[in-house]
């Protein structure tokens, strides 16, 4: 006789917490999660491959950033689950949901900084859109979580652009 324990799926649940249109909020959160995941991967790749006179500065900064993004990804995924929906779980799905573009060739250190600053800006703008949707649904928890993430992304833009200032 086979056990049914391992056949459980992450199906949609209805936690009935007073949030209007949880499906729409969860879908928006899935985009934010996907953006964060792909930015983390890009940031870590830059961390590994940066060269030049700013190596140490960029290497340490990108390490801080990908660690922060790693933690955020888990929080975003758990929030989607708390809303009663499965989180994106494949790279293919995340690429489809994300606005972050992959590099087509190996960028220079300066291009890495520019790319990361641009991508953090994309996340800040997309998170603002998701905050509006969460607030429309009376989901203050998701709105608050995304607001905290915007603070990180805006600070990351400042730090990245400061590295290349003359």
Going by C-alpha positions, the residue among 66, 59, 69, 71 that lies closest to residue 44 is 66
Look at the domain 21-99+107-163 and name its fold. Ferritin (1.20.1260)
Q: Mind listing the pLDDT tens digit for each residue in 13-66?
A: 666 666 778 889 999 999 999 999 999 999 999 999 999 999 999 999 999 999
Q: Virtual CA dihedral for 144, 87, 47, 118, nearest 10 degrees?
A: -60
What's the pTM? 0.89
């Amino acid at each position: 006789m086979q056990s049914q324990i391992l056949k459980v799926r992450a199906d949609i649940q209805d936690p009935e917490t007073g949030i209007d249109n949880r499906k729409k909020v969860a879908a928006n959160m899935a985009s934010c999660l996907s953006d964060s995941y792909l930015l983390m991967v890009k940031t870590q790749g830059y961390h590994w491959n940066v060269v030049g006179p700013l190596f140490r500065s960029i290497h340490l900064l990108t390490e801080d950033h990908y660690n922060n993004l790693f933690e955020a990804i888990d929080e975003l995924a758990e929030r989607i689950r708390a809303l009663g929906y499965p989180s994106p779980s494949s790279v293919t799905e995340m690429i489809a949901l994300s606005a972050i573009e992959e590099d087509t060739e190996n960028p220079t250190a300066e291009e890495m900084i520019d790319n990361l600053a641009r991508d953090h800006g994309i996340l800040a703008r997309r998170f603002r859109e998701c905050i509006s949707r969460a607030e429309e649904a009376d989901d203050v928890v998701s709105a608050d979580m995304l607001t905290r993430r915007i603070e990180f992304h805006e600070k990351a833009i400042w730090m990245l652009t400061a590295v290349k200032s003359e």
